[in-house]
Amino acid sequence: MARREQSNLTRAFLYSGKLGIILGMNPLSFAATYITWHYSAALIAFWQTGYELLRFLYHFFSVPVLIGTLFSPWRRLGEHQLGRWQLGAWVSSLIVNGLMRLVGSIIRLVFLFVGLLVCAGFALLWPLCFAFWLAGPLVVVLFWFIGFYFLLHS
């Protein structure tokens, strides 16, 4: 990527010395800076991102709208009585409109169930992702030592 196409954030990151190896910073200082960032600012951003993703899923499946329109007719389908009042036409209109509301309710309940299931699944998996995030740097160091152990004892 050309220097002019870099974002201001990338330039600020490069100029502030956060990419220690590229700019000649001590690797231990870089590791300390990374660990500090990983367990402070990034941890807060991790939880904020999780909250925003959960909010997105909640609104993606239109949960509030589905609850608010649960008993509305499906796609506004229904029968309207025109002209003067007749008992047969009124009963026919009542049955058709009732069936359309039933179909709408069933379809909305299915979407509502799927949406809430996805939100619940995400809410249950997010702490697992959080645990992986917390263990990430430790796992890298552990694998580094295991690699040296096998390198020296092979």
Regarding whether 109 and 43 lie in a shared domain, the answer is: yes
Give pLDDT tens digits for 30-60: 788 888 888 888 889 999 999 999 999 999 9
- Between the two ends of the chain, the Cα-to-Cα distance in Å is 42
Phi, psi at 153, each rounded to 5°: -110, 30
Regarding whether 120 and 147 lie in a shared domain, the answer is: yes
Pick the more confident residue, 5 or 35: 35
Regarding whether 109 and 58 lie in a shared domain, the answer is: yes
Give pLDDT tens digits for 72-109: 877 766 666 666 778 887 888 888 888 888 988 999 99
Interior angle at CA 144, CA 42 and CA 142, nearest 5: 65
Question: Both tokens of residue 60?
Answer: 């993606």
Task: Write out the residue range of the structural domain in which residue 56 sits.
Answer: 39-152
Regarding whether 121 and 88 lie in a shared domain, the answer is: yes
Regarding whether 59 and 22 lie in a shared domain, the answer is: no
**Secondary structure (3-state) at 143:** helix
Q: Based on the structure, what is the number of domains in the chain?
A: 2
C-alpha–C-alpha distance, residues 5 and 13, integer Å:
14
Under the banding of pLDDT at 50, 70 and 90, the label for residue 69 is: confident
